[in-house]
Structure formats: C-alpha cells, structure tokens
Amino acid sequence: MKQLEIYHIDAFTDVSFGGNPAGVIPEAGSLTTEEMQKIAGELNLPESVFLLPPSRPDADYRVRYFTPTEEINFCGHATVALSWLLAEKYGYLEKGDRVALETNVGLVPVEWIIENNRLARVSMTQLPPRTQEIDISIERVAELVGIHPGDVDDRYPIRLGSTGNWHLFVPVRTRSAIDSATPQLKELGRMNKELQVSTTHLFTFDMHGEFDLYTRDFAPAIGIAEDPVTGAANGALAGYLYLEGILPEMEQTRLKVGQGHAIGRPGTLYITVTPQETAPRIEVAGSAVITIEGLITIR
C-alpha cells in the first residue's frame, strides 16, 4: 500500500475556485506511469503534475503531466501550481529565487516573484516559440469552433504555434463571439489529432482596457472539453504574435491575458515577450491558491 501527499491547486487566480485546477503530487518517485495515469483519471482535473528526481544535471526536478486520458509534454498551469506549492509548503523561498524543471520537451526555468515580502506570482520561461502555416479555410475553422465565419478576424492568420505543445490559433473579432462559441467537440478533437495539436485556442484583442487579450481553449483531442486558463497555449500565442509581426520586433512587450470567464473560472496571466538574437523569450506568470490537500492511497 502506498500513501502520497496530493494537492488540488487553482492556478492563474488569487481566489479559490477560479482559474484552472491542477492536481499536484510532489513526491511521485515511487509511482509507475500506469499509476500516474490512474491518479490523473481519478482526480479528473484538466491536468495533474507529478514531481520526480531529475535525470539531467542542470535540473532540480523532473516533472510529468497527465490529463485524465493521456500524458502530455508540457502544461503551463500545472507548472505554476507545482511551483507555488514548492514555495508555500516546501520552503523553497528560503533556498533561492528559482527552480529548473525537466519536462519531456526540455528545461523550463521557474522564478518566484516577491512583492511586499510575500509570494505574488510564479513566472516560467517557456521553450522558444515556433509557428507553422496550415491549409484550412475560415469557413471550416468557424464551423468546428462554433462561431460565424464573419466572426473570424481575417486581419491575423490562422496558424499552428508551440512553446512546447502545438496549438491551433484562431483569431476572433469580438469577446462576445468567443464567449458564445459552441464547438463541435468530436469533430474538433478528430482534426486536432490529425494535426497533432493539443488544443484549439481562440483569441481576441477586443477588450477595451480590461485585458490586452482574451482567450478560450478547447482540447477534446487530449480528453478535455475546455481548458479553463492555459499557460502553455497563451505562452505559445504570445510567441505566435511576435513571430507573425503583430507585436513589436525590437522592444519588450507585456501582455495581460484573461481566460476562463465563459465557464465561471476567471483567470489572469501575465506574459512578457523579450526580443533576443535567435528567438524571443516567453515568460508566463500567475498566482495560485491551494484549495485541497490530503493523502491518496494506492493498494
């Protein structure tokens, strides 16, 4: 019989029951892959993250991420949740101001941001962004995500983008169109599997000052109808905006992104895009709240 500490942590929010919930298992070294997947299925949260000893010398820990149905290479909100837990419960603020996490796609550095002598946010540096063109019509995309073709914002290209996981980005003219989207989840999931993308990510600049961007994310291909607030997808979105020339090429850009409001789990992400010689640095930051802590028993 095994008993392990387990946490339910809401990420990209500073209030309970907002943002995106993640399961966090901080001492998972004794677990098999099958056990990790079963725990993620039992928790039935968008993603669960498992902390393991590192396999490379430049990492403090290895992490693995699971949806209720499969392992994925990277998850932003679960990384924020885990890093918040390390600081708040495991004394890492006394050991330093950052930690290096080994993921399936590479090393992800995480920094703790302190304001007024308390932990304010966790900031992770994602992998260098990439984009790919995609041959798909506006009409087909609109049909799959459940909006009118006229709601697709043709000022910006429909593209695939990644900072670890691949996503399909769909520009939308208004926040109201995003909020009213009713995707064909089965068909969308099938297309995402064909494209080998994790999620379809809708975004708009139609915010009138509340945020810089507003987004919504559908992930039926990996067992999640809608992911409330997505660190990986929004980080990749920032990379897409830079690589497509929508953000300034030679100056740092800070973005405040809202997501989750359409499904009653509002969250906020703070993204910094810093131009560099080879590729921009994408940093995604947010706060978190530990809502449940306890033990899980495996017999």
Q: Examine the pLDDT at 264 and tell me if it is beyond 90.
A: yes
Give start and end residues of each alpha helix (H) in the chain. Answer: 33-43, 76-89, 138-145, 175-179, 185-195, 231-243
Residues 259 and 214 occupy one common structural domain:
yes
Strand 61-66 and strand 98-103: pairing? parallel
Whether residues 28 and 60 fall in one domain: yes
114/186 same-domain check: no
What mean pLDDT value characterizes the chain? Answer: 96
Q: Are residues 153 and 171 in the same domain?
A: yes
**90 and 143 housed in the same domain:** no
CATH of residue 184: 3.10.310.10
Predicted local confidence at residue 93, as pLDDT: 85
27/74 same-domain check: yes
Nearest to 290 by CA among 8, 82, 58: 8
47 is catalytic: yes
Decide the pairing of beta strands 20-25 and 267-274: unpaired
Q: Please, which pLDDT band fits residue 227 given cuts at 50, 70 and 90?
A: very high
The pTM (predicted TM-score) of the whole model is 0.96
Residue 252 neighbours by CB under 8 Å, 6+ apart: 272, 273, 274, 275
Over residues 264-283, mean pLDDT: 97
pLDDT for 61-78, tens place per residue? Answer: 999 999 999 999 999 999
Q: How far apart are CA 261 and CA 216, in angstroms?
A: 9
Out of 27, 35, 42, 47, pick the active-site residue: 47
The predicted structure's pLDDT at residue 266: 98
CA–CA separation, 118 and 202 (whole Å) = 34
**What domain range is 180 assigned to?**
130-283
